[in-house]
Amino acid sequence: MKRTLTAVLLSAAVLSLAACGGKKEAAPPAGAPQASAPAAGAGGTRETVTLRMLAMKQAAYSDASVQAMVKKFEEKNPGIKVDVTFVPYEALHDKIVTDQASGAGEFDVVLVDEIWPAEFAAAGFIRDLSDRLTPEMKEGIVPAVARILEVNGKTYGIPWILDTKFLFYNKDMLAKAGFSAPPKTWDELLEQARAIKQKGIVEYPIIWSWGQAEAVICDYTPLVYSWGGEILAPDGSPRFQSGPALEAVKWMVKTLDEKLTNPNSTSALEEDVRQVFSQGQAAFALNWTYMYALANDPKESKVAGQVGIAPFPAGPAGAYGVSGSMGLSITKSSKHPDEAWKLIEFLTSFENQKEYASESLPIWKKAFDNPDQIKAPRELVEAAKTQFASIRGRPEFVPWYNNFSLKAQVALQNILLKQKTPEAALSELAGQVESLRKS
Amino acid sequence: MKRTPAHRLRGAGESGTLLLVLFLLPAMVVTFGLIVVPLADSFWTSLHRLNLTAADRPFVGFGNYVEAIRDAGFRQALARTLYFTVVSTLLELVLGLAVALLLNQDFRGRGLLRALVLIPWALPTMVNGMMWRWIYHPQYGALNALLTQTGLLDSYRNWLGSPALAMNMVILADVWKMTPLVAIILLANLQTIPGELLEAASIDGAGAWQRFWHVTLPWLRPGILIVLVLRTMEAFKVFDIIYIMTRGGPANGTQTVAYYAYTEAFSSLQFGRGAALSFLIALAVGLMAVLYFRLLGEEGAGA
């Protein structure tokens, strides 16, 4: 009996030692590469620095394009290696939080959505880069995105993905229904959709991303603005529960009731929207820039060549696009901020961005002044010019935006799935917002 | 028994005790470092209003716990978790028993079938979740194709599109994966039934159903109890399959307590509340464990 106990304890001890040893060996490569380990601390000598970057595996730049950019950067900067990790957008926020809050500090450069800087800056996850901004950046970046990573006058990153949603339409389907141009107003959208449905061209003419995710907020916000409503007042108090904002939500429900909106919209994300549209199962789709190239690619799409792109239609109070840009930031934990900045400068440079402009338009004004310099279809650039002139952000100025968004997503889902009336769900959400303001 | 190393060490006095402590030290460091310290730390966290975006972290005692229990969102998540736990465990038990009885029969290819039946359980939950998400896909899903082509359904359905339906479909995916485990446990138990027992019962005139009800089922009590312990405790903590298949949606219809705790901590940055929720979950699972140990203990005493 005793003997077995001793044996067990001993083997446990051995195992635990082995575990410790393993850990020690495994630790260094995460922060620094094998080559740098001996040279670490000794400045002067050439050492290789490995930067770890967290990027997104969906929309905007494809992972293959990001890898290609990084390779070019490595060739230009022999001492720096870059290791990119890709996660889906839905996992990106929580991945950054886990990395920084747990003290793991694995990443140097992270992709930050424009709705997070207030929160991340307050939590101290990302660095103030104001001093590093070049005059060229201050002057040259498209005004609509220039300040997305600014919090209280400090700049926490450089925009990298310039993005907004567009109204995509199937030219052949519109022509068959007798329309020569895409709708100019949201009501016109419904008229055209009704005609397309009646002629049996497609069963559900419109597809949106109304699943329980940030995606639904990106469709909901521009509708609220174009109906003349607000979501949150500057002090954070709720404005969405009555008036024009409420009307906008009721309009969303109406499109479902009339079966003009594909019912699968309520569980769809952006990629689902792209699939439905690319399969020729929708005449209209609301999605980000990246869909234009992919829906026109015969390998990815059955409707290549039929894809039209237009700015968002107008509501009673005008036309608004949603701002959905993202930027690159340096984490607080990064041990190589200078190298990280070099990488950011390279990735956001016009020279790099113009090569991949069909996936995401460059952040630079000059790209729109001289569209011939960039590799993007003319039709996209033209639509973008109009759309970027009218974009507005989500209520991302509050540090509890992410928390608010999670609750708003559920409220919208309850409305769209007929679990609750718009009035009930939104006044409940208003109550939740009040307690968020106090917290 | 007399001359064990431990005896010798103890006999050697203080230096021996020191040696014992030295031997124990690595294991203790691991236990404390990996379990006790993080546990204590997260308990300490749960007593604070720790919001990562706020500078101050006031001590609130059990405030986070009280808030959680009063929170309608938590109570709804709890109700959904109980639903998931009860329905999935019951289905797995019934189906697992049926499979086990079948595999216990003597037929050709039984060995192969026994191996094949384990495949779903061998799949990682992530893969299983992805697979079922595709099967349920509203546009291209195999389930829609199967049901419409056989005429059971006249148009495609969005299986994960409404709250209650989505929960049941996630349960189905979980049942598909976990039934084999239940079947194997019960099969092992079935094989311990002495043949004479069933033979005696049939000589006494018991039919197949009576033999099952009065001989087989009582014999399976320990196996069933083990299945209940394993499955209910695991189902109560369900997270991964939800994360993969529905991310708690639609309209929070599949949000379980573990998922709720995750969202509070990592999406809303309310780490104090997240920690308190985790402790409430741990407490619930702990209570279940105590209850089951009692039952198992009675079982042991009765046998």
Kindly report the three-state secondary structure assignment for every residue of chain B. CCCCHHHHHHHCCHHHHHHHHHHHHHHHHHHHHHHHHHHHHHHHHHCECCECCCCCCCECCCHHHHHHHHCHHHHHHHHHHHHHHHHHHHHHHHHHHHHHHHHCCCCCCHHHHHHHCCHHHHCCHHHHHHHHHHHCCCCCCHHHHHHHHCCCCCCCCCCCCCHHHHHHHHHHHHHHHHHHHHHHHHHHHHCCCCHHHHHHHHHCCCCHHHHHHHHHHHHCHHHHHHHHHHHHHHHHCCCHHHHHHCCCCCCCCCCCHHHHHHHHHHHCCEHHHHHHHHHHHHHHHHHHHHHHHHHHHHHHHHC
Q: Which pLDDT value is given to residue B4? A: 52
Confidence class for position B74, pLDDT limits 50, 70, 90:
very high
Is B4 in Cβ contact with A403 (below 8 Å)?
no
Angstrom distance (rounded) from CA B205 to CA B210: 9
- CA distance, residue A276 to nearest chain B CA (Å): 8
Give me the mean pLDDT over the B241-258 stretch: 93
Q: Which pLDDT value is given to residue B52? A: 81
Give me the mean pLDDT over the B54-73 stretch: 89
Q: Which residues pair with A83 in a beta bridge?
A: A52
Q: Which pLDDT value is given to residue A144? A: 84
Q: Which pLDDT value is given to residue A1? A: 40
Q: Which carries the bigger pLDDT value, residue B258 or residue A58?
A: B258
Taking CB atoms and an 8 Å cutoff, what residues of chain B touch A409? 249
Taking CB atoms and an 8 Å cutoff, what residues of chain A touch B259? none
Question: Is residue A34 scored above 90 in pLDDT?
Answer: no
- CA distance, residue B21 to nearest chain A CA (Å): 11
As to burial, measured by CB atoms within 10 angstroms (0-12 exposed, 13-18 middle, 19+ buried), residue B124 is exposed
Confidence class for position B289, pLDDT limits 50, 70, 90:
confident
What's the full length of chain B, in residues?
A: 303
Give me the mean pLDDT over the B278-291 stretch: 91
What's the full length of chain A, in residues?
A: 439
B270 touches chain A (CB under 8 A): yes
Question: Is residue B2 scored above 70 in pLDDT?
Answer: no
Q: Which residues pair with A49 in a beta bridge?
A: A80
Q: Which pLDDT value is given to residue B168? A: 97
- Dump pLDDT digits (tens) for B96-121: 999 999 999 888 988 899 999 999 99
Residue from B52, B242, B259, B264 whose CB has the most chain A CBs within 10 Å, to mutate: B52
What lies within 8 Å, CB to CB, of B142 at 6+ separation is: B134, B135
Question: Is residue A22 scored above 60 in pLDDT?
Answer: no
Angstrom distance (rounded) from CA A261 to CA A205: 6
Q: Which of A349-363, B13-27, B78-92, B120-134 has the lowest mean pLDDT?
A: B13-27
- Dump pLDDT digits (tens) for B156-189: 899 999 999 999 999 999 999 999 999 999 999 9
Question: Is residue B6 scored above 70 in pLDDT?
Answer: no
Q: Residue A32: name the closest of A348, A339, A341, A342 by CA.
A: A339
Q: Residue A342: name the closest of A129, A154, A151 by CA.
A: A129
Q: Which pLDDT value is given to residue B299? A: 63
Confidence class for position A46, pLDDT limits 50, 70, 90:
low
B207 touches chain A (CB under 8 A): no
Q: Which pLDDT value is given to residue A438? A: 85
Average pLDDT, chain A: 88
Is B52 in Cβ contact with A101 (below 8 Å)?
yes
Taking CB atoms and an 8 Å cutoff, what residues of chain B touch A399? 53
Q: Which of A31-45, B81-95, B110-124, B165-179 has the lowest mean pLDDT?
A: A31-45
- CA distance, residue A264 to nearest chain B CA (Å): 6
B293 touches chain A (CB under 8 A): no
Give me the mean pLDDT over the A124-128 stretch: 95
Tell me if A132 sits within 8 A of A418, measured CB to CB.
Answer: no
Q: Which pLDDT value is given to residue B129? A: 95
Angstrom distance (rounded) from CA B166 to CA B158: 9
Q: Which pLDDT value is given to residue A40? A: 42
Angle of helix B221-236 relative to helix B271-302, nearest 10 degrees, comes to: 180
Confidence class for position A272, pLDDT limits 50, 70, 90:
very high
Angstrom distance (rounded) from CA A92 to CA A104: 16
B25 touches chain A (CB under 8 A): yes
Give me the mean pLDDT over the B190-207 stretch: 89
B163 touches chain A (CB under 8 A): yes
Angstrom distance (rounded) from CA A363 to CA A160: 7
Taking CB atoms and an 8 Å cutoff, what residues of chain B touch A279? 139
Average pLDDT, chain B: 89
Angstrom distance (rounded) from CA B205 to CA B282: 50
Question: Is residue A348 scored above 50 in pLDDT?
Answer: yes
Give me the mean pLDDT over the A262-270 stretch: 94
B161 touches chain A (CB under 8 A): yes
Is B267 in Cβ contact with A93 (below 8 Å)?
yes
Question: Is residue B10 scored above 60 in pLDDT?
Answer: no
CA angle A116, A119, A125 (to 5 degrees): 95
Question: Is residue A86 scored above 90 in pLDDT?
Answer: yes
B301 touches chain A (CB under 8 A): no
Q: Which pLDDT value is given to residue A9? A: 39
Angle of helix B271-302 relative to helix B37-46, nearest 10 degrees, comes to: 120
Taking CB atoms and an 8 Å cutoff, what residues of chain B touch A213? 247, 249
Read off the tokens for B86.
């009860």
Question: Is residue A19 scored above 60 in pLDDT?
Answer: no
Question: Is residue B296 scored above 90 in pLDDT?
Answer: no
Q: Tell the residue number behind the tokens 């390998």, with chain if given.
A: A299
Of the candidates B6, B29, B52, the beta carbon closest to that of A123 is on B52
As to burial, measured by CB atoms within 10 angstroms (0-12 exposed, 13-18 middle, 19+ buried), residue A306 is middle
Is B138 in Cβ contact with A439 (below 8 Å)?
no
Taking CB atoms and an 8 Å cutoff, what residues of chain A touch B252? 212, 410, 413
Give me the mean pLDDT over the A396-403 stretch: 90
B138 touches chain A (CB under 8 A): yes
CB atoms within 10 A of CB A299: 6
Is A97 in Cβ contact with B26 (below 8 Å)?
no
Of the candidates A9, A19, A119, the beta carbon closest to that of B24 is on A9
Instruction: Please name the residue of chain B whose CA is at the shortest distance from the CA of residue A400.
Output: B268
Confidence class for position B301, pLDDT limits 50, 70, 90:
low
Is A414 in Cβ contact with B251 (below 8 Å)?
yes
Taking CB atoms and an 8 Å cutoff, what residues of chain B touch A400? 53, 268
Instruction: Please name the residue of chain B whose CA is at the shortest distance from the CA of residue A425.
Output: B251
Question: Is residue A4 scored above 60 in pLDDT?
Answer: no
Is B247 in Cβ contact with A97 (below 8 Å)?
no
Question: Is residue A65 scored above 60 in pLDDT?
Answer: yes
Instruction: Please name the residue of chain A whose CA is at the shortest distance from the CA of residue B50.
Output: A439
Instruction: Please name the residue of chain B whose CA is at the shortest distance from the CA of residue A93.
Output: B267
Taking CB atoms and an 8 Å cutoff, what residues of chain B touch A10? 23
Give me the mean pLDDT over the B190-204 stretch: 90
Q: Which pLDDT value is given to residue B12? A: 52
Angstrom distance (rounded) from CA A53 to CA B124: 27
CB atoms within 10 A of CB B100: 24
B254 touches chain A (CB under 8 A): no
- Dump pLDDT digits (tens) for B33-59: 898 998 899 999 999 988 887 778 899
Of the candidates B1, B23, B266, the beta carbon closest to that of A98 is on B266
- CA distance, residue B14 to nearest chain A CA (Å): 18
Angstrom distance (rounded) from CA B303 to CA B301: 6
